Amino acid sequence: MAKILVTDDEEDIVDLISYNLAREGYSIIKAYDGEAALRQVKLQKPDLLILDLMLPRMSGIDVCKTIRSNPDSANLPVIMVTAKGDETDKIIGLEIGADDYITKPFSVRELVARVRAVLRRRQKEKKPMAEDEFSYRGLKINYAAYEVTVDDKIVMLSPTEIKLLFFFTQHPGRVYTREQIIDNVWGDDTFVTPRAVDVHIRRLRSQIEKDVNNPQYIITVRGVGYKFNEIKV
């Protein structure tokens, strides 16, 4: 069963989340500040991180940034927890590489459902693709190794960003609405909004595009959605 790291400076919340996830059969690791969370990520190599935004010693934002910048942990799924209902906090969480977010106070059942959904998506991503590799205008993907390079430089992507890129490159030239992208990338048990799709795509573009204002890979189709640039054979 998956190993989950729960990080929050409120011990009662950590215990509540841990108890309910343990009942589902998950193995639990606990941390109460940002620095401790990073140590546990390095030592325990969890399968998923539940990360509070407001932490002592090191904020959840800085923890997530550090995780995404390290090749050993760049693919770790992160569910960000915030006590604020402000849309800005949710957008920040997604833009720094969180795969999902939940706002306090939250339903434990909803959190467990989100954990299942993220881990299920991660498991699907591990399935081999029909083709092992993809190459287009300096962008190269090794699907089996989960390696993405642009002009021969390795790019560190979050699990959601990788899933998006894999999906688009498997269907070049085809336009998808935000709702279709949610269905194909996040699945039926999703809590993702169309606005969040825009945030994830903006984050992905910032990682792979030379000019985010004039993208050559993931193209916006006004009034419809997005597509990967049509490949001329």
Task: Tell me which CATH code domain 133-228 carries.
Answer: 1.10.10.10
pLDDT number for residue 112: 92
pLDDT number for residue 233: 47
pLDDT number for residue 104: 86
> pTM to 2 decimals?
0.72
Cis bond upstream, residue 56 (ω within 30): no
Which class for 57: exposed (0-12), middle (13-18), buried (19 or more C-beta within 10 A)? middle
Per CATH, is 3-125 categorized as 3.40.50.2300?
Answer: yes
Work out the end-to-end distance of the chain between its first and last CA atoms, rounded to an integer number of angstroms.
44
Q: For 43, phi and psi rounded to 5 degrees?
A: -80, -45
CA–CA dist 142, 149 (Å, integer): 9
pLDDT in tens, the chain (233 residues): 799 999 999 999 999 999 999 999 999 999 999 999 999 999 999 999 999 988 999 999 999 999 999 989 998 999 999 876 666 777 888 888 888 888 888 899 999 999 998 888 777 666 555 568 899 999 999 988 889 999 999 999 988 899 999 999 998 999 999 999 998 888 765 577 888 899 999 999 999 999 999 999 999 999 999 999 987 64
CB 161 within 8 A of CB 169: no
Domain spans of the chain, in order of start: 3-125, 133-228
Q: CB under 8 Å, gap of 24 or more: what pairs does 116-121 form?
A: 116/24, 116/189, 117/186, 117/187, 117/189, 117/190, 117/191, 118/48, 118/77, 118/79, 118/159, 119/2, 119/47, 119/48, 119/77, 120/187, 120/189, 121/159, 121/160, 121/163, 121/185, 121/186, 121/187
CB 48 within 8 A of CB 69: no
